């Protein structure tokens, strides 16, 4: 399957700091999604991006769909302890046989230190 390169793999930050993570691919995607997974739970959708250049916010979270359609980033401002978890990017290819088939990045493990 297609590869999504998500970085960094892990981050340790102090409470109150801003966080940035990104996903890149050699392929063009129609849609970029960002999910968060808490321990023992399934991923929960944070932000969905549908157009190149789109910048969308959800509270302290901001994500952008890259102009080239091959990348996306997620920023978290003023981190708090409950931001701890694994963040996944996911992309939908334009040529996907199913309109719902997603390719996931390998995840960014975020730890927020008090």
Partner 1 sequence: EAQVTQNPRYLITVTGKKLTVTCSQNMNHEYMSWYRQDPGLGLRQIYYSMNVEVTDKGDVPEGYKVSRKEKRNFPLILESPSPNQTSLYFCASSSYGVAQPQHFGDGTRLSIL
User: Residue 58 has which token pair?
Assistant: 């959800």
Q: Which of 12, 42, 95, 114 binds partner 1 (CB under 8 A)?
A: 42
Q: Which of 13, 28, 84, 102 binds partner 1 (CB under 8 A)?
A: 102
- 101 touches partner 1 by CB under 8 A: yes
Give the integer Cα–Cα distance in Å for 29 and 86: 22
What's the start-to-end Cα distance of the chain, in Å? 39
Q: Which of 90, 113, 110, 99 is nearest to 19 (CA)?
A: 110
Give the integer Cα–Cα distance in Å for 112 and 87: 13
Instruction: Select the span of 13-21, 53-61, 71-79, 94-102 touching partner 1 (CB under 8 A).
Output: 94-102
Neighbours of 31 (CB within 10 A): 19
Q: How far is the CB of 81 from partner 1 (least distance, A)?
A: 22
- 67 touches partner 1 by CB under 8 A: no
Q: Which of 48, 52, 56, 84 binds partner 1 (CB under 8 A)?
A: 48
Q: Which of 12, 40, 82, 95 binds partner 1 (CB under 8 A)?
A: 40
Give the integer Cα–Cα distance in Å for 64 and 23: 11
**Contact positions toward partner 1, by CB under 8 A?**
1, 4, 6, 9, 30-31, 33, 35, 40-45, 48, 50, 88, 90, 92, 97-102, 104-107
């Amino acid at each position: 399957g297609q590869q999504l390169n998500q970085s960094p793999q892990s981050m340790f930050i102090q409470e109150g700091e801003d966080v940035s993570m990104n996903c890149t691919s050699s392929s063009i995607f129609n849609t970029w999604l960002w999910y968060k997974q808490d321990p023992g739970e399934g991923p929960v959708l944070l932000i969905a991006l549908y157009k190149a250049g789109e910048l969308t916010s959800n509270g302290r979270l901001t994500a952008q769909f890259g102009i080239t359609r091959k990348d996306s980033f997620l920023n978290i401002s003023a981190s708090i302890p409950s931001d701890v978890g694994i963040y996944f990017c996911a992309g939908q290819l334009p040529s996907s046989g199913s309109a719902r088939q997603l390719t996931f990045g390998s995840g960014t493990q975020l730890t927020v230190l008090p």
